[in-house]
Structure 1
Amino acid sequence: MKSKFDLPKEKKDDLVKEIKAYFLDERNEEIGDLAAMLMLEFIMESIAPVFYNLGVEDSHTYMGEKLDDLFGIMK
């Protein structure tokens, strides 16, 4: 399954390094590039959309409130 998020290769490489560093720092485990890339793909496919959707919902709520404010200036 293709991720819903397209990232430039350089950004993916940076994130793979971050995941590897996390495992080393927090779990004292060294993982390889493949394992880190698989973890990144899992996050992008399964976890990131949840937070993305929360951001969209928050934006919708915020914009709705601002539109309500706009109607408040009607004469």
Structure 2
Amino acid sequence: MTIEISKEAQKTAITSIQRYFAENMDDEIGNLEAGALLGFFLKEIGPAIYNQAVADAQSRLQARVMELDIEIHEEEFQYWTQRKRK
């Protein structure tokens, strides 16, 4: 699966990479180079981040499903118990 981001996110990421290089590497990086680096990160590291996000979402959903019986549990055979209260 290819990890893709929107054009707007891509522009923002490229600008961020360029700024990072300018401030931390004492070197400038062009738009083309920053785009290539972003492409590398998306291809090489993106799947690991994506897979972890999916695992986190699965874990969260499984926890919610485990709580489902507590949240929506309804006592059975309560007709006579409720009738006695009236």
Same-fold call, TM cutoff 0.5: yes
Q: CA deviation at 1:53?
A: 1.0
Aligned match of 2:27 = 29
Q: Give the root-mean-square deviation of aligned CA atoms.
A: 1.8
Between the two structures, name the one with larger relative contact order (CA 8 Å, sep ≥ 6). Answer: 1
Matches within 5 A, 1:18-57: 18-57=16-55
1:16 aligns with 2:45: no
| Paired AA for residue 12 in structure 2 | D
Aligned match of 2:83 = none
- Alignment gaps of 5+ in structure 2: 76-86
| Paired AA for residue 51 in structure 2 | N
Question: Which of structure 1's runs of 4+ aligned residues deviate more than 4 A?
Answer: none
- Alignment gaps of 5+ in structure 1: none
* TM-score of the aligned structures, taking structure 1 as reference length: 0.82
Larger Rg: 2
* TM-score of the aligned structures, taking structure 2 as reference length: 0.73
Using the aligned pairs only, state the percent identity. Answer: 26
SS in 2 for 1:63: helix
Equivalent pairs, count: 73
